[in-house]
Structure 1
Amino acid sequence: MSAQELAVDPPTAARRLLGATLSSGPVAVRIVEVEAYGSDPAGPWPDPAAHSWPGPTARNAVMFGPAGRLYVYRSYGIHLCVNVTIGFDGIAGAVLVRAGEVVDGIDAARARRPAARTDADLARGPGNVGSALGISLSDYGTELFDPFSGIRLQLAKPVRAAEIGVGPRVGVSVAEEVPWRFWLPSPAVSVYRRSPRAPQDAAGRKDVPPQR
């Protein structure tokens, strides 16, 4: 399997990443929850919630590159979030890895995430994925399908549509209803939280659990 399988539109690429294994050093994580993000207004998937929306910058430049590279950024000055670039070279797109199950290197992941109460918590939430895998900002742009890379992505067989949950993305204040979050049945899947800056739904709720 190669990066070409991710040279597709954001939601299709996001579904293809479900069940994939992301490995960094001794730790490997099976991806169970993702969010797709699209392009700037000039691209085919305009997405005002995406980092690519203002156009190419030093921070988001890798989103405009070929598929299969690592986009790492710091969120709220604390957490490092892990993304996989998708789509076509020159057109922005990425998929955020929101949650995973640690399938190898469990002791190393526990050492990196001492606050995790259970093994399901080790890589639940995008910041925790990066922590469990030991990924740093210096890993930005890593080619994930390079056999000599320290961080590798191995795609799995496609998951049946009936097994995939679908819902809105977490914490975005614009395009908040776009159903580009996808997940598999797993205790590691995070809880949906609507951004307090986004309009509330008709019932006035901000937090809605994922539909199964």
Structure 2
Amino acid sequence: MTLPADFFARDVVTVARALIGVTLLVDGMGGPIVETEAYAAHEPASHSFRGPSPRNAAMFGPVGRAYVYRIYGLHWCLNAVCGTPGSAVLIRAIEPVHGIDRMLARRGDMPLRQLCAGPGRLCQALGIGGELDGHPLDAAPFALVDASGSPALHVGPRIGITKAAELPWRFGLAGSPFLSRPFPRKQVP
């Protein structure tokens, strides 16, 4: 079953938690989301902290759209725009299940555990680039399939940032070997 229309019309932390276990497909390739991070307009690590700009315009547009940006001038990152203007969830990792051969062709031969472990790897494997910035997540090439049940989560601080890194807004599927990085042993509630 696809996600309901109002799934993304909630606060960013709620959506980041709820996306764990949801299957993300791009042109039929993908798998369950196993790691996310929340970013809100009121905190300094968010691209929207200083207000709208050409780069972050999708974050201020309709909910349920993709915000795709390039990091370090090399890697694309996929985010889902949420209910509060300027908020989005970074999709950090998925478990590769569908279209593995096509993903490996894009990324090269490697262990499946590393294929989509990290936002840049995930986008390369799924063929996500800047042309999908602002694209609805409920329209081709995207498809999001609701998860069954409520998976057990790890919760911890976000990674790869220096501002507001202490916020416990990184979420991961407990026990998943497909995370971009392990969670600290001591979990944040």
Q: TM-score, normalised by structure 2?
A: 0.91
Deviation, 1:66, is 2.1
Query: Letter of the aligned partner of 1:82 in structure 2?
Result: L
State whether structure 2 residue 98 is matched by structure 1 residue 104.
yes
Cα separation, partners in 2 of 1:15 and 1:158, compared to 1, 3 Å:
farther
Q: C-alpha displacement at 1:6, in angstroms?
A: 1.7
Q: 2:66 aligns with which of 52, 63, 70?
A: 70
Partner of 1:190: 180
Name the structure 2 match of 1:32: 34
Paired AA for residue 7 in structure 1? A
Q: Percent identity?
A: 45
For residues 85-111 of structure 1, the C-alpha deviation after alignment (integer angstroms, 9 at most, x for no partner) is 1114xx111000001111100100111
Would you say the 8 A contact 2:35–2:93 is kept in 1?
yes
Residue 14 of structure 1, CA deviation: 0.3
Letter in 2 for 1:58: P
SS at 1:138 equivalent? helix
Please tell me the root mean square deviation across aligned C-alpha atoms, in Å: 1.5
The answer as to 2:49 corresponding to 1:47 is no
Q: Secondary structure at the match of 1:98?
A: strand
Residue 174 to residue 95, structure 1, CA distance change in 2 (3 Å):
same
What's 1:42 paired with? Answer: none
User: How many angstroms apart in 1 are the aligned matches of 2:43 and 2:149?
Assistant: 25
Residue in structure 1 matched with residue 9 of structure 2 by the alignment: 7
Provide the residue aligned with 1:132 in structure 2: 125
Is the Cα contact below 8 Å between 2:30 and 2:94 reproduced in 1? Answer: no
Q: Which amino acid letter does the alignment assign opposite residue 45 of structure 2?
A: A
Bigger Rg, which one: 1
Whole-angstrom CA distance in 1 between matches of 2:150 and 2:75? 29
Structure 2 gap segments, 5+ residues each: none
Q: Per the alignment, in what secondary structure is the counterpart of residue 102 of structure 1?
A: coil
How many residues align structurally?
Answer: 183
Is the contact made by 1:26 and 1:108 (CA closer than 8 Å) also made in structure 2? Answer: no
- 2:5 is aligned with 1:16: no
Structure 1: unaligned runs, 5 residues or longer? 40-45, 193-208
Equivalent AA in structure 2 for residue 141 of structure 1: G
Determine if contact 1:36/1:96 at 8 Å carries over to the other structure.
Answer: yes
Per-residue deviation at 1:158? 5.0
Distance (Å, rounded) in 2 between the aligned partners of 1:158 and 1:54: 37
Structure 2 CA distance for aligned equivalents of residues 210 and 114 of structure 1: 30
Superposition deviation, residue 186 in structure 1: 0.8
Whole-angstrom CA distance in 2 between matches of 1:3 and 1:52: 24
Q: Which amino acid aligns with 1:55?
A: G
Following the alignment from structure 2 to structure 1, what is the Cα–Cα distance between the partners of residues 170 and 149?
A: 17
CA contact (8 A) 1:3 1:67 kept: no
Offset, 1:2: 2.3
Residue 63 to residue 29, structure 1, CA distance change in 2 (3 Å): same
- C-alpha separation between the residues in 2 aligned to 1:57 and 1:170? 24
Corresponding residue number in structure 1 for 2:162: 173
